[in-house]
Amino acid sequence: MSVGPTGFRVDLAQTPEERNQGLSGRDQLDPGAGMLFIFEQDRPYSFWMKEMRFPLDFLWIDSDCTVADITVDVPPPQPGTELADLLTYRPQVPVRYVLEINAGDVAAQGIAIGDPVAFQGTIPPEHGC
């Protein structure tokens, strides 16, 4: 997929189980990689960093296939943090997709709100970007 001129290789999280698992438990995310969360309708979805081991940037993408909001440098929780104490992150507007990438990629690639998003490769065409 691409965000503006920047390409990312992504794993997909389409089912409730895949979205719940997300990147939890992984030790790292390769450079230029990400996880794309695909939802059926536009909402201001909440995300947390349950069992995360590295920081992320979140790109909140609307159904018009543009970056609608950005959250940068989201840290992993401290070891032993209870689920009830985990912070949640959400966009300022309803979105259809969320792309998690390595922290710092937004700044390094100059990604901004309003950038166009395009899906390629194995992303099912019914998702429309």
Output the DSSP codes for 34-49: EEEEEEEEEE---EE-
The pLDDT of residue 126 is: 75
Pairing relationship of beta strands 9-13 and 56-61 according to DSSP bridges: unpaired
The pLDDT of residue 11 is: 92
Distance set, CA 111 to CA 6, 71, 86, 116, 124 (Å): 8, 11, 27, 10, 24
Give me 79's structure tokens: 């070891």
List, edge to edge, every strand of the sheet that includes 9-13: 9-13, 33-43, 95-102, 56-61, 67-74
The pLDDT of residue 25 is: 85
The pLDDT of residue 125 is: 73
Q: What is the pTM of this model?
A: 0.93
**Residue-by-residue pLDDT tens, the chain, 129 positions:** 999 999 999 999 988 899 989 998 899 999 999 999 999 999 999 999 999 999 999 999 999 999 999 999 999 999 889 999 999 999 999 999 999 999 999 999 999 999 999 998 877 777 778
